[in-house]
Chain A
Amino acid sequence: MCLAVPAEVKSIDGMMATVDFGGVSRTANISLVDAKIGDYVIVHAGYAIQLLDKEEAEKTLELFREMLEQENAGA
């Protein structure tokens, strides 16, 4: 139910956008987010519900590594 999948905004027409789920194109309603072409959004039940911070996503593994290293130092 709360399944939501990241997709890239390819084009925008009013409240609707064409988004790309890694090769599969669909339309999504973007009225709940401030999205522009090239943004990554999280799509749930036909609506983009939030922007995905691509840099933060790319940094996630690095952040995890740092967290695990820090704990190592303390443990």
Chain B
Amino acid sequence: MFRLRDREMSRKIIDKLERMSLDLTLMHVCGTHQDTLVRFGLDSEFRRIGIDIRQGPGCPVCVTPPGEIEEILAIARAGVTVAVFGDMMKVPGEKGSLNDAKADGADVRIVFGVDDAVALAKNNQKEVVFMGIGFETTSPTIAAAIRSDPPTNFSVLSCHRTVPPALAAIAEMGEIRLHGMIQPGHVSTMIGTRPYEFLSEKYKMPQVVAGFEPLDLMMGVYMLANQVRDGRAEVENEYSRVVHREGNLTAMKVLEDVFEPSDVLWRGFPVINGSGLSIRKRFETHDARSRYSDLLASVHEKEFSEVEGCRCGEMLRGILTSEECPLFSTGCTPANPLGPCMVSREGSCHISYRYRKKQAVR
């Protein structure tokens, strides 16, 4: 359904890009973009013609810092039912993962979406905590569930983060010289294209919002290359069949009703101001941090460090690729991951491991 996979057109785009003799470094912030790039061999094809595309902080599981992993582990180990997206199960904490906690008797459930967790609470007398992770694609759905009068035994541990402040942090930190950014299509269905405009104004950053089919990404890269060639820094929209400048106003209103911005850590980054989403006081019955404040106090007192040798942080800032990590596919594999970039199916290491033998389609 709506597959954009036209071989002739792909070849035409690559040929045109090749004739431009490019030397560009681009960044995207989306696990699904990384999947398309690697699965179809586009990343190596782009590299061949002078375009290096890095995955930035675009994997929600990966950017969740160790302290928040410890929060959900503490809640699970205290006997509370926790519901999580499947990718969270293997993320290593200081003393094991949620999988380990489950093996030790904790009640940990994998859910497909927040409504499954609400249903679990409705059908269960026990307390249920849903770990809310994800960017603006996901957070409005969690806000909608919180607003829909869920049972009082349902609460959310909000680990949500917003994309634009992280993009600004990347630009501000200046560790990597970027010629353009490919913005995430589905985050953009919600927030629209307007929240990216300041990056073009302040940092002269060329940007294209792109979809997830191979041709979407190829056209996105082509549009960025043209912006660079023409000396333009604008927000262009390749994914116009779904993304509009204003986004989904209903969803954003629901989001703002339930959450307020907060200053939070991202794995690999310092605290990024205004990049977190805390549940507003009005909904504190459903805020796991408020509900379990005593239980979480000991977690909040401690500082948690990364697993020794894990370089996910550098990958999330785009300054290292998975293959450059000495542990990649040797000491760290999907079966025995050391860090979240190898745990999550959206992490750059997991994706590289999954597809690395694939060659370009061309």
Q: Which residues of A contact B (CB under 8 A)?
A: 1-4, 6, 15, 21-22, 29, 31-34, 42, 44-47, 49-54, 56-57, 60-61, 64-65, 67-68, 71, 75
B110-123 Cβ-contact flags toward A at 8 Å (1 or 0): 00111110000000
Which of A3, A46, A53, A68 makes the CB contact (< 8 A) with B9?
Answer: A68
Pick the contact of A56: B4, B141, B241 (CB < 8 A).
B241
Secondary structure of the A side of the interface? mixed
Residue B134 lies at the interface, judged by CB distance under 8 Å to chain A: yes
A62 to B62, CA, bound (A): 37
Query: Is the beta-carbon distance between B60 and A61 smaller than 8 angstroms?
Result: no
CA distance A64 to B6 in the complex (A): 11
Alpha-carbon distance between A35 and B187 when the two chains are bound, in angstroms = 19
Task: Known A2-B134, A67-B219; judge A49-B190 contact (CB<8 A).
Answer: yes
Q: B141 near A61 (CB under 8 angstroms)?
A: no
Q: Cβ of A64 and Cβ of B141 under 8 Å apart? A: no
Contact B254 A32 (CB under 8 A): yes
For B133, the closest partner residue in chain A by CB is A1
Q: Point out the residue from B13, B87, B112 that lies within 8 Å of A1, measured CB to CB.
A: B87
- Contact between chains at A22 and B242 (CB < 8 Å): no
Q: Is the CB of A53 within 8 A of B241?
A: yes
Asked whether, in the complex, the Cβ of B184 is within 8 Å of the Cβ of A2, the reply is yes
Q: B234 within 8 Å of A by Cβ?
A: no
Would you give the shortest CB distance from B213 to chain A, in whole angstroms?
A: 9
Q: Can you list 20 A-B pairs with a CB-CB distance of less than 8 A?
A: A1-B61, A4-B137, A21-B1, A29-B115, A31-B254, A34-B250, A44-B138, A45-B113, A46-B116, A46-B141, A49-B141, A49-B186, A49-B189, A49-B248, A53-B241, A54-B241, A56-B241, A61-B4, A64-B219, A65-B9
Interchain CB contact under 8 A, A61 and B113: no
Determine whether the beta carbon of A44 is less than 8 Å from that of B137: yes
Check A45–B242 contact: CB distance below 8 A. no
Contact with A along B206-238 (1 / 0, CB 8 A): 000000000100010000001000000000000
Chain B residue numbers with a CB within 8 Å of A65 are 9
B189 and A42 contacting across the interface, CB-CB below 8 Å: yes
Nearest 9 CB-CB pairings of A with B: A46-B113, A45-B113, A50-B189, A57-B241, A47-B141, A56-B241, A2-B137, A32-B251, A2-B186
Residues of B within 8 Å of A34, CB to CB, are 250
Q: Which residues of A contact B135 (CB under 8 A)?
A: 1-2
Seed contacts A33-B251, A34-B250, A45-B141; 17 additional CB < 8 Å A-B pairs? A1-B32, A1-B59, A1-B138, A2-B135, A2-B186, A29-B141, A32-B251, A45-B112, A45-B113, A46-B114, A47-B140, A50-B242, A50-B248, A60-B241, A67-B219, A68-B12, A68-B16
Q: Which residue of A lies closest to B112 (CB)?
A: A46
User: Chain A residues near B13 (CB, 8 Å)?
Assistant: 68
Q: Smallest Cβ distance from B47 to chain A, in angstroms?
A: 22
Look across to chain A and name the residue whose beta carbon is closest to the beta carbon of B147: A31
A63 to nearest B CB, angstroms?
Answer: 8
Most central of B135, B137, B140 by chain A CB within 10 Å: B137
Closest to A56 in B: B241
Q: Is the CB of A1 within 8 A of B6?
A: no
B30 at the interface (CB under 8 A from A): yes
